[in-house]
Amino acid sequence: MAFHNFKIPAEVWSWQRVAKNSNSLQELFVTQYGSDSYVTWLLDNTRVHILPSMNPDGFEASNEGSCRGGRGRYNAHGFDLNRNFMDYFKQNNKKSQPETEAVKKWVSKIQFVLSGSLHGGALVASYPFDNTPNSL
């Protein structure tokens, strides 16, 4: 049987506690497998890869309950990891960070067919190269 790979990277900006839902999702998978037919089917037919925290340094710096001031947005080197990936229009010339390189290595080794990224503040569907030079 062919499996499809699905990835969920979470906690790029550590002050967005919605990313902690990846932990709840993991708990759901573990506790409901075998008793919930949908969860069982999903896990029998899909490989779900969860990265619970892309920014552990940001998590340590953030203040629980506070979404103001950006504490937790940056890694230990002061980089916003959400803005540190390659850009289609090659306008991102910032030094690639270790966390970014690790995610790039991860996604280059596995053929993912779907990805969900947990962020707070808005309900958004992002597609590859959905930005324009004017929106950067």
Q: What is the pTM of this model?
A: 0.72
Cβ atoms of 109 and 15 closer than 8 Å: no
- The CATH code that applies to domain 4-130 is 3.40.630.10
Structure-token match 């573990």, residue found: 30
Alpha-carbon dihedral of residues 11, 16, 18, 20, nearest 10 degrees?
A: 40
pLDDT band, residue 136 (cuts 50/70/90): very low
- The pLDDT tens digits for 60-106 are 777 666 556 667 788 899 888 878 877 665 666 678 899 989 988 98
Which residue did the predictor score with more confidence, 111 or 62? Answer: 111
- pLDDT category at 50 given cuts 50, 70, 90 is confident
Query: Cα dihedral sign for 126, 61, 106, 19?
Result: negative
Quote the tokens at residue 111.
């053929």
Neighbours of 73 (CB within 10 A): 22
The domain ranges of the chain are 4-130
